[in-house]
Amino acid sequence: MSIADDIKAIAGGFGVTLRHMLRRPVTIQYPEEKRVPYPRFRARIVLTRDPDGGERCVACYLCSAACPVDCLSMEAAEQADGRRYAAWFRINFSRCIFCGLCAEACPTLAIQMTPDYEICKRDIMELVYEKEDLLIDGCGKDSSYNFYRHAGIDVTQPRGEGLEETPPVDVRSLMP
Amino acid sequence: MTASPVVDIALFAAKLGMVFFVILTLAAYLVFAERRLLARIQDRRGPNRVGPAGLLQPLADLIKLLTKEDFIPAAADRWLFLLAPAMAAVPAILTFAVIPFGAPVTIAGHEVPLLIVDLNVGLLFFLALSSIAVYGVAIGGWASNSKYSLLGGIRGLAQLISYELSMGLSLVPVVMLARSFSLTAIVDAQRAIPFIVYQPLAFIIFLISITAECKRIPFDIPEAEGELVAGFHTEYSGMRFGLFFVGEYINIIVLGGLAATFFLGGWHGPFLPPLVWFTLKTLAFAFFFIWTRGTLPRLRYDQLMHLGWKVLTPLALLNILVTGWWLALTS
């Protein structure tokens, strides 16, 4: 009885392989066919701008602190009006593991992942992206978010004039 | 009609050259076919970049193997190491000499039998050469002076003694039915009905044994890349590795041809020309080997021993007895 079962099992295996032989391969022929990545696919990192065209990045170093492979580096600087920006910003894509922790850490939504996965280079030094390579003229995923409208007190607007912010209470006139 | 030896020799040489060319080309393309078919079994496409549909892939592989460094390990037994790949490939291609691959044809008034030599002990010649073929494996494993190679060589030898017996015994009923050791006579005896009809058990035993003979996947324990790196050819590189490799595929073609000759009636068949029938049958066996490789896992060393000694050999002996009894009754 067990021999009959064994033969049945082996024949079943042969049947499975034969069926797969006649099935369409799942391979995507890469250079000719390209798969369309999902919108949240994590690949090449960009630095976005706010809706008014200013740089979102405030050089807070949170992304470089979050980066598990230390591929992010920058130097903070300050404009005359007190608005912070990165004097230089560098991502070494030869070390980047595209984990997305930098984008998650970013409080201003400046650093974002794009679905552009085709960033192979002949020379490894070309994978070191400087700020001008990273900065794009767009808002990326959150097109209406402007960090300084929420938190830019005394930099872009006086106290009490930001979004979702009530004017400060004058304690001297505040009577019960 | 006066026989002119010059034309005979020329025809013979042409036949020899043709057979060599066809076998080697077929072996190279069998590698390609295997890669494509295995890929399809695994829902992949396989090599399709070199030339149209990847058809020039064997050529690219050949160039790669020829231009690679021919490495000899420092501690290797130099001469045996150099000799072993040839010892694996040559018996495989020599075996084809006795296989009739078509009906005799007449060219310019000369009858040319479509086989190289019609030995009256062709079957024994094949058994002898298949035993010699394992020396390539054993010597290659020994001469490499590496533990993996040595273990592969030992396994090759142990495998040989477990399947060779059942292979030889499974062919005895064929000889009993054909009453000859000559492969031409065996093919002629199957003019009406192929022997697979009379001898299905012998056919199955032979099929399992030749799978072990050409070290194909359920029985590829001398190579066993999961355990022994690459077994007996671990230390080989370049064209010497290529010779082992091509030898394996020549072996598939030759053993497929032999299985067709012994059990499927050789080149006999309706409608199509004999040569086409023989090629079809041989390639069917090659396809079966590839299919098996895509399906079955590797047997353990002791499982092969068990199968060879405790299952196949007694069955083959029983088959001989029954065949003899049946022949005695019907004659």
**What is the band of A53 on the pLDDT scale with cuts at 50, 70, 90?**
confident
What average pLDDT does range B287-312 have in this prediction? 87
Chain B, 29 to 58: residues with Cβ < 8 Å from chain A are 37, 39-45
Task: Please answer yes or no on whether A27 and B44 come within 8 Å at the CB atom.
Answer: yes
Residue B2 is predicted with a pLDDT of 53
Nearest CA in chain A to B38: A21
In this structure, are residues B231 and B217 in contact, taking their beta carbons and an 8 Å threshold?
no
**Type and span of the H or E element at B113:** strand B110-114
Q: Which chain B residues contact residue A31 at CB under 8 A?
A: none
Residue B233 is predicted with a pLDDT of 81
What average pLDDT does range A1-12 have in this prediction? 86
Residue B108 is predicted with a pLDDT of 67
Residue B1 is predicted with a pLDDT of 45
Q: What does the alpha-carbon distance between residue A172 and residue B2 come to, in Å, rounded to a whole number?
A: 136
**What is the band of B272 on the pLDDT scale with cuts at 50, 70, 90?**
confident
- Render pLDDT for B137-160 as a digit per residue (tens, 0 to 9): 888 888 888 888 888 888 888 888
Residue A63 is predicted with a pLDDT of 92
Across the interface, which of A10, A13, A25 has its CB nearest the CB of B40? Answer: A25
Angle at Cα B87 formed by Cα B81 and Cα B90, nearest 5°? 145
Distance, CA of B140 to chain centre? 19
What average pLDDT does range B47-60 have in this prediction? 86
Average pLDDT over chain B, rounded to an integer: 85
Q: Report the share of chain B in percent with pLDDT over 90.
A: 4
Q: Per-domain residue ranges for chain A? A: 45-142
Cα torsion A134, A137, A141, A144: sign: positive
In this structure, are residues B116 and B15 in contact, taking their beta carbons and an 8 Å threshold?
yes
CATH class of segment(s) A45-142: alpha beta
pLDDT > 90? residue B18: no
Does pTM top 0.95 for this prediction? no
Task: Please answer yes or no on whether B294 and A10 come within 8 Å at the CB atom.
Answer: no
Q: Report the share of chain A in percent with pLDDT over 70.
A: 99
Q: Which chain B residues contact residue A27 at CB under 8 A?
A: 43-45
Q: Which of A24-33, A98-107, B73-82, B105-114 has the highest mean pLDDT?
A: A98-107
In this structure, are residues B252 and B30 in contact, taking their beta carbons and an 8 Å threshold?
yes
Q: What does the alpha-carbon distance between residue B134 and residue B150 come to, in Å, rounded to a whole number?
A: 13
Task: Please answer yes or no on whether B43 and A14 come within 8 Å at the CB atom.
Answer: no
Across the interface, which of A13, A23, A27 has its CB nearest the CB of B296? Answer: A13
Q: Report the share of chain A in percent with pLDDT over 90.
A: 32
Task: Please answer yes or no on whether B43 and A18 come within 8 Å at the CB atom.
Answer: no
Residue B212, Ramachandran bin (φ over 0: left; ψ between -120 and 50: alpha; else beta): alpha
pLDDT > 80? residue A131: yes
Residue B3 is predicted with a pLDDT of 59
**What is the band of A74 on the pLDDT scale with cuts at 50, 70, 90?**
very high
In this structure, are residues B168 and B213 in contact, taking their beta carbons and an 8 Å threshold?
no
Average pLDDT over chain A, rounded to an integer: 88
Tokens 């099929």 belong to residue: B207
> What is the number of residues in chain A?
176
Task: Please answer yes or no on whether B44 and A26 come within 8 Å at the CB atom.
Answer: yes
What average pLDDT does range B278-300 have in this prediction? 89
Q: What does the alpha-carbon distance between residue B11 and residue B151 come to, in Å, rounded to a whole number?
A: 46
What ipTM score was computed for the predicted complex, to two decimals? 0.75
Q: Which chain A residues contact residue B292 at CB under 8 A?
A: 14
- Render pLDDT for B57-86 as a digit per residue (tens, 0 to 9): 888 888 988 898 888 888 888 888 888 888
Q: State the total domains in chain B.
A: 1
Across the interface, which of B44, B294, B296 has its CB nearest the CB of A25? Answer: B44
pLDDT > 90? residue B19: no
Q: DSSP letters of A78-128?
A: E-TTS-EEEEEEEEETTT-----HHHHH-TTS-EEE-S------SSGGGGE
User: How far apart are the CA of A98 and the nearest CA of chain B, in angstroms?
Assistant: 27
For chains A and B, CB pairs below 8 A equal 35
pLDDT > 50? residue A75: yes
Q: Which domain holds residue B147?
A: 5-330
- Render pLDDT for A82-95 as a digit per residue (tens, 0 to 9): 888 899 999 999 99
CA distances from B19 to B24, B97, B259, B282 (A): 8, 9, 18, 14
Select from A13, A95, A93, A12 the least CA-distant residue to A46. A93
